[in-house]
Amino acid sequence: MALKTNEKNCVEMVIQVQPGHPPSTGRWTVGHHGTPYNLPSIGGITLNIQVGDSAFGWEGDHLEPGVSATACQDTQKHPNQGAQYYACAGNMAQVISGKAKGAKGVVLGHHGGSEHLVIDFPRKVKEKMTYDDKMIIHTKGQGLKLLDYPEVHVMNIDPDLLKKLKIKELKNGKLEVPVTTIVPAACMGSGLGTTSSHRGDYDVMTSDPASVKKYKLDQMRFGDLVAIMDHYNLYGPTYKQGAVSIGILIHSDCVNSGHGPGITTILTCDAGQIAPKIDSKACLADILKMGTQKK
């Protein structure tokens, strides 16, 4: 039985964005182990990384798969701030100019700090794109509610994608949500302290090898659904015993202190109303049949 929502009352808007050039100073930075590094990072049209690929092992830091898009050059101002809010995971993006005109992609989420939307397109489409091309996104999702589960708050996800997550209603009044990975609160880092989870993301810290091994963090892929335990994210990510938040992995592992793969929140509750269940195919690549699907 499908979850009852207020989808018919959710606002649909069109926003316009374009690929964002990958910024870099070319300077050295020191990682969490005290080792200098100089690597590719955020932004750009990334040809060889897509949803479903591993978030680990790349010669890069904070890599965003697919196309990193913004609504204007100054990412901290309007209209980019609005684009970051309205665009939700699962929204359709369409190229409206250039050689790739007409091609369609899917929003994965948004990356805080860089204030980029992360949009997945097939490589053959990305190879035709330029930084002058424009895309429109049909946004829908903010304001979405689960009518029978008011304690479970929804954000940043298209209603049609929510229906495809194979969420089950349990007899104990909880919702069972498939995820690839369950992350303890202690592993969450950069992004804590922000006052909203309706934009941006926050990071799973991977600086502790024992934790990475214990929780299999290095097996995560772009587009994975991830459960974060004891974190309540309605008013911004924060620690609360018994809370559970679900998010989508949108950028790669990082070597800066306090950083790691980035998670955009889509569901949160403050008293355990969400029951995560491990499913190795709980990834947008497998759910939407796109990118690198699990064999």
The continuous run of DSSP H or E covering 202 comes out as strand 202-203
**Rounded Cα distance, 272 and 123, in Å:** 40
pLDDT tens string 122-137: 999 999 999 999 999 9
In order of their start, the domains of the chain are 9-139 (2.40.10.170), 153-287 (2.102.30.10)
**Rounded Cα distance, 205 and 153, in Å:** 25
Number of H helices, E strands in the chain: 5, 18
Residue 40 tokens, joined: 């590719």
pLDDT of residue 295: 85
Cβ partners under 8 Å of residue 20, min gap 6: 43, 44, 68, 69, 70, 75, 116, 131
pLDDT band at 1 (very low <50, low <70, confident <90, very high): low
pLDDT tens string 14-24: 999 999 999 98
pLDDT tens string 102-118: 999 999 999 999 999 99
Residues 261, 55 contacting (CB under 8 angstroms): yes
Choose among 66, 163, 138: nearest CA to 108: 66
**Rounded Cα distance, 103 and 49, in Å:** 18
Q: What percent of the chain has pLDDT over 70?
A: 100
DSSP 54: B
**Rounded Cα distance, 33 and 118, in Å:** 28
pLDDT tens string 142-172: 999 999 999 999 999 999 999 999 999 999 9
